[in-house]
């Protein structure tokens, strides 16, 4: 792919990736998906995202110093989400803009995201929402939200609360860990588990209402915790997790007309 003009003035440079195609079934993306690169260096990640043989790409890479590189024009379908789903939709690549945030991830020494980098992510998301809208706050998501069985990124260290304070994403303060009350764990069964699965589905997670706290349910709960209840990620639906989920559902933005 030849050099193209960046979509936002905050982009520092363009590194074209050949790994893209046309969006399917949508006129404009209505999701933003945040990832971490999960490689030892940002330079290695950028090389992979622009290599024809890798068959992966993204729209933007945000480096730790706040520098932003664009790899695919926003109007095109980048290949960043893989097998994924949200709110019954399975072609997440067609519906989303993918942002890779440089961080070695859980495999290579997961670390905190520098404030300069987080500020750049916020500015980039604001730019996208301002230019492309409407993108609902509850459709600014983690890769792990749409692919809980496969992915952990951007992970429990990513400061979603800071994004929310700047008007990016749907988020609530997590309920305390030490709450007493009924919870659920792998192996539990019954109508109460169905209601939990239904609540997670209603928010958007891809999960069957089996009535069994099975491995897919544990994976979805862990993904939920990585995004919304980050102090403990164990896949157990304890009272803190359940109350946080309820608060999110109750405060979810109304669907746009």
Question: Catalytic residue at 100?
Answer: yes
DSSP letter, residue 167:
T
3-state secondary structure of 21: strand
Number of other residues whose CB lies within 10 A of the CB of residue 63: 22
Burial label, 6 (beta-carbon count in 10 A; 0-12, 13-18, 19+): middle
Tell me if 224 sits within 8 A of 144, measured CB to CB.
Answer: no
Q: How many residues does the chain have?
A: 257
Tokens matching residue 13: 């440079």
> In the 8-state DSSP scheme, what is residue 7?
S
CA 90, CA 221: separation in Å to the nearest integer? 20
How is residue 148 written in tokens? 């809980």
User: Cβ of 61: how many Cβ atoms within 10 Å?
Assistant: 25
Quote the CA–CA distance of 49 and 100 in Å, as a whole number. 10
Q: Are 18 and 55 in contact (CB under 8 A)?
A: no
Both tokens of 141, joined, read 């998501």
Find the catalytic residue in 74, 100, 156, 219: 100
Two tokens, residue 249: 């559902």
Give catalytic residues, as residue numbers.
100
């Amino acid at each position: 792919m030849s050099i193209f003009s960046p979509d936002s003035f905050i982009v520092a440079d363009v590194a074209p990736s050949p790994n893209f195609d046309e969006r399917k079934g949508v006129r404009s993306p209505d999701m933003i998906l945040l990832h971490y690169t999960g490689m030892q260096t940002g330079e290695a990640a950028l090389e992979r995202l622009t290599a024809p043989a890798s068959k992966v790409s993204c729209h933007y890479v945000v480096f730790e110093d706040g520098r932003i590189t664009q790899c695919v024009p926003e109007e095109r379908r980048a290949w960043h989400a893989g097998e994924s789903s949200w709110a019954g939709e399975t072609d997440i690549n067609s519906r989303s803009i993918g942002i890779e945030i440089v961080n070695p991830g859980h495999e290579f020494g997961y670390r905190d995201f520098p404030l300069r980098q987080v500020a750049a992510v916020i500015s980039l998301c604001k730019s996208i929402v301002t230019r492309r809208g409407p993108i609902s706050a509850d459709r600014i998501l983690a890769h792990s939200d749409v692919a809980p069985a496969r992915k952990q990124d951007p992970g429990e260290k990513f400061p979603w609360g800071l994004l929310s304070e700047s008007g990016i994403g749907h988020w609530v303060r997590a309920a305390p860990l030490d709450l007493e009350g009924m919870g659920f764990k792998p192996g539990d069964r019954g109508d109460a588990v169905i209601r939990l699965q239904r609540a997670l589905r209603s928010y958007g997670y891809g999960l069957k209402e089996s009535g069994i706290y099975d491995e897919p349910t544990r994976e979805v709960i862990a993904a939920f915790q990585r995004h919304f209840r980050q102090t403990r990620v164990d896949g157990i639906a304890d009272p803190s997790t359940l109350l946080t989920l309820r608060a999110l559902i109750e405060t979810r933005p109304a669907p746009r007309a």
